[in-house]
Structure formats: C-alpha cells, structure tokens
C-alpha cells in the first residue's frame, strides 16, 4: 500500500486520506492502485457503511502526478488510474468527499462520482486537460455539459477555467460550501458517519437506482476518453505542456498546426 495514503477506520466509516503534502497530494500510480484496492475491499466489507475521501484540511489533490505522466504514463485499461476509476464508478456504498484547497484534474472529475461533496470556500477547482494537451476524463465530457450546459462546460473543459467552492456548490457540483478546511472535513465526516444509522441495503439500492439512467453510456464514454487520453499523453502537444510545467514556464503551442 502507498505510504501516501492514510486509512482510518471507525464504526461504519472508512476514511481514505491522500497524504502527500509536499506535492499537493498529486496522485501517483501507487496511490491510484491503493485507492482501487481499498475501495474494492470496502465494497465487500459489511462493517463499512460509507467511505470518506479527503486530502485533509489544506489540499484535496493537484491531480495526476505530472512527472508520472512523463515517466510512467498509464498503458491501458489495467493501469492503476483506470482501476481506480472503475472501483469508484462501481462502488455500491455512499462516498462522501471533503474538498479544501486545490482539486485539480481528476480531483474535480472524481467528485461527480461521489454521492455527497462538501467544499471549503477557498477551494480551487479546475480541469486543465486541454491546457496540458490532453482531453477530459472520467466521464466529464458527458457529465459536465449535462449538469452545467454546453456554454459553462466549455469554459471549464476547453479553457480550463478555475472556480471556487462557492461556485461548485451553486452549480450543484457540491452539496454545501463551508468556511474553511477544518469545517469542511468535520461536516463531511458527520454526514458520512450518519450512514451507519440507515438501513444499508436501502441505501445501496437507492444509490444504484439514482445512478442507473445512462450508466452504460457513461461507462462507454469513460473508456473512450481513457483511450484518447492515453494517446494524447504521447503527443508532442502534451509533451510540450508537461515539460513546461517541470520547467516552470508557460507552455508554447505556437508551432502546432
Ligand atoms: N504533479 C506533480 N507535482 C506537482 C503537481 C502535480 N500534479 N502539482 C504540484 N506539484 C508539485 C510542484 O511541482 C511543487 O513541487 P516542488 O516543491 O518540488 O517544486 C509542489 O508540488 C508544490 O506545488 P506549487 O505549484 O509550488 O504549489 P501552489 O500552491 O503554488 O499551486 C497547484 C498548487 C495545485 C495549483 C499547482 O501546483 C498546479 O497547478 N499543479 C499542476 C496541477 C495539474 O495540472 N494537474 C494535472 C491535471 S490533469
């Protein structure tokens, strides 16, 4: 299991905490693999009634580790990141997210696969896929236009426009905005613990019903996005963007046609 994942167990609740503060909780292959495994185990474990996903009070996640994108890109459907996406997509119990600070890339897109999302006012959410020479992932090309309309989704997905916790809640991407990271974590934990008092199969049946419409289409879109994302990672455009991040300079796409 990755040293960058903290696992806490209390009655009815499994808390998965991303813990790589020096890299703003950037997700490595080992972290994705660990999350996938823990979610699969939790789905089979009757003592777990809900999962709380957090990066702590300061930072949710800066998204996929950009050095990994260059050195160890995902190679196909069995890669850790895709196993994580499938584990979250197929998870039958409630997932509650507590989001503070940056929530970049998959840090934002995964929220659409959680059931309850609490976000701090100063959270910074963005999906800079195109800015990195990439394309949307985890169903965001289908889910965001459906949720927000084409115009707003284009700002977020084509321009990579950032938004804060207030906007996330106003747009329905989050349940509630809270004053700071500590309050966000406390609220998310309180709501997640509440599931231990509910009838477990009534909860999972209801989650399944709520997520059933369009589910197979969404699964197909996630696969299509994943295949294109993998191709784009090997493109010269993405290489320019990733190298620019490492060199702390703006990307220059002027030579591309
Ligand atoms: N992958 C790898 N390292 C990352 C990272 C990522 N996704 N995001 C941040 N880091 C590293 C930085 O390189 C830096 O490392 P260093 O101290 O060794 O130089 C450290 O984390 C702190 O990041 P920094 O940029 O100085 O923090 P910040 O508070 O100014 O900004 C972010 C935070 C998250 C807004 C900014 O780091 C960022 O935009 N990161 C890239 C996010 C991204 O594009 N993710 C992929 C989406 S598909």
CA angle 146/33/132 to nearest 5° reads 50
Overall number of domains in the chain: 1
Question: Mean pLDDT, the chain, as a whole number?
Answer: 97
Classify residue 192: in a domain, yes or no. no
Classify residue 190: in a domain, yes or no. no
pLDDT at 1 over 80: no
Pocket test of ligand 1: the residue of 4, 18, 62 to mutate, having most ligand atoms within 8 Å of its CB, is: 62
> What is the Cα–Cα distance from 255 to 250, expressed in whole angstroms?
14
Ligand 1: residues with CB < 6 A are 23-24, 26, 62-67, 102, 104-105, 128-129, 132
**Spacing, Cα 13 to ligand 1 middle (Å):** 30
Characterise 88 by phi-psi region: left (phi > 0), alpha (psi -120 to 50), beta (else). Answer: alpha
Residue whose CA is at the smallest distance from ligand 1 atom 19 = 23
Are 69 and 235 in contact, with CB atoms under 8 Å apart? no
Residue whose CA is at the smallest distance from ligand 1 atom 6 = 65
Domain CATH for 251: 3.90.226.10
Classify residue 22: in a domain, yes or no. yes
At residue 55, the pLDDT reads 98
Residue whose CA is at the smallest distance from ligand 1 atom 10 = 23
Residue whose CA is at the smallest distance from ligand 1 atom 14 = 23
Phi, psi of 62, deg, nearest 5: -85, 15
> What is the Cα–Cα distance from 80 to 28, expressed in whole angstroms?
9
Residues 6+ apart with CB under 8 A from 164: 121, 122, 123, 124, 125
User: How confident is the model over 170-216, as pLDDT tens digits?
Assistant: 999 999 999 999 999 999 999 999 999 999 999 999 999 999 999 99
**Spacing, Cα 63 to ligand 1 middle (Å):** 9
> What is the Cα–Cα distance from 101 to 103, expressed in whole angstroms?
7
**Helix 215-233 crosses helix 236-246 at what angle (to 10 degrees)?**
70
Classify residue 194: in a domain, yes or no. no
User: How confident is the model over 58-115, as pLDDT tens digits?
Assistant: 999 999 999 999 998 988 889 999 999 999 999 999 999 999 999 999 999 999 999 9
pLDDT at 147 over 80: yes
Classify residue 213: in a domain, yes or no. yes
User: How confident is the model over 105-145, as pLDDT tens digits?
Assistant: 999 999 999 999 999 999 999 999 999 999 999 999 999 99
Pick the closest to residue 118 from 203, 41, 55, 211 (CA basis): 55
User: How confident is the model over 153-179, as pLDDT tens digits?
Assistant: 999 999 999 999 999 999 999 999 999
Q: What percent of the chain has pLDDT over 70?
A: 100
Classify residue 191: in a domain, yes or no. no
User: How confident is the model over 64-77, as pLDDT tens digits?
Assistant: 999 999 998 988 88
Classify residue 89: in a domain, yes or no. yes
At residue 190, the pLDDT reads 98
Tell me the residue range of the domain where 52 lies. 1-180+200-257
More confident residue, 7 or 76: 7
At residue 75, the pLDDT reads 83
Q: Which residue has the tokens 């309180």?
A: 190
Residue whose CA is at the smallest distance from ligand 1 atom 20 = 23
Pocket test of ligand 1: the residue of 19, 20, 23, 24 to mutate, having most ligand atoms within 8 Å of its CB, is: 24
Are 166 and 121 in contact, with CB atoms under 8 Å apart? yes
pLDDT at 231 over 90: yes
DSSP helix/strand/coil, 251: coil
């Amino acid at each position: 299991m990755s040293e960058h994942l903290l696992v806490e167990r209390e009655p009815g609740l499994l808390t998965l905490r991303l813990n790589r503060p020096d890299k703003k909780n950037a997700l490595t292959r080992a972290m994705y693999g660990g999350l996938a495994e823990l979610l699969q185990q939790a789905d089979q474990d009757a003592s777990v009634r809900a999962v709380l996903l957090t990066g702590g009070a300061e930072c949710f996640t800066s998204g996929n580790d950009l050095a990994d994108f260059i050195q160890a890109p995902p190679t196909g459907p069995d890669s850790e990141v895709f196993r994580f996406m499938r584990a979250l997509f197929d998870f039958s119990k409630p997932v509650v997210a507590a989001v503070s600070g940056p929530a970049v890339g998959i840090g934002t897109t995964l929220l659409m696969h959680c059931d309850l999302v609490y976000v701090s006012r100063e959270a910074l959410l963005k999906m800079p896929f195109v800015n990195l020479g990439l394309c949307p992932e985890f169903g965001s090309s289908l889910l965001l236009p459906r949720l927000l309309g084409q115009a707003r989704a284009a700002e977020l997905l084509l321009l990579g426009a950032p938004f804060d916790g207030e906007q996330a809640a106003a747009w329905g991407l989050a349940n509630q905005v809270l004053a700071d990271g500590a309050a966000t974590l406390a609220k998310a934990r309180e709501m997640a613990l509440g599931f231990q008092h509910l009838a477990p199969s009534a909860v999972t049946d209801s989650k399944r019903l709520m997520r059933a419409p369009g589910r197979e289409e969404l699964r197909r879109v996630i696969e299509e996005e994943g295949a294109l994302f993998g191709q784009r990672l090997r493109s010269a455009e993405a290489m320019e963007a990733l190298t620019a991040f490492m060199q702390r300079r703006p990307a220059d796409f002027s030579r591309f046609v």
